[in-house]
Structure 1
């Protein structure tokens, strides 16, 4: 898929400078930025859902140490 974006002259110059400094190409750099933004958005939505569960649910949360003890898990390898 191909996408076209319009940038102001100054934005383009900054972007080209960053791409050159990172020794990559424009497509790879922009693809990486978009991927990071998508990951951030997914994380944000998952956080909102988790907070809602904690606020609305009668679920009991325990520490990792308590869960390990209850399940008989040790830290020994």
Structure 2
């Protein structure tokens, strides 16, 4: 798949500088950037759904320290 984007000159210069500093190529950098952004969006949506479920749920949440104490775990290895 091929996508064309238009950038302002300043944006292009900044992008080229980043790509050069990371010692990569434009396509690889943009693919990685888009992949990270897509992951963030998916995470945000999952968080929103989880929060909605928890709002309608009577589940009690405890801190990690409380859970460890209740389960008899210690910090020792």
Q: Above 0.5 in TM-score?
A: yes
How many corresponding residue pairs? 76
Separation in structure 2 between the aligned mates of residue 58 and residue 9 of structure 1, nearest angstrom: 51
TM-score (norm 2): 0.80
Cα distance in 1 for partners of 2:28, 2:7 equals 20
| Structure 2 match to 1:66 | 66
Runs of 4+ aligned structure 1 residues displaced above 2 Å come to 11-18
TM-score, normalised via structure 1 length: 0.80
CA deviation digits over 1:20-42, x for unaligned, max 9?
A: 22221012101110111011112
Structure 1: gaps of 5 or more residues:
none
Structure-to-structure mapping, 1:1-77, within 5 angstroms: 2-8=1-7, 10=9, 11-77=11-77
> RMSD in angstroms over aligned alpha carbons?
1.7
TM-fit CA distance, 1:60? 0.8
Unaligned runs of 5+ in 2: none
Q: 1:9 to 1:63 in 2, by over 3 A?
A: closer
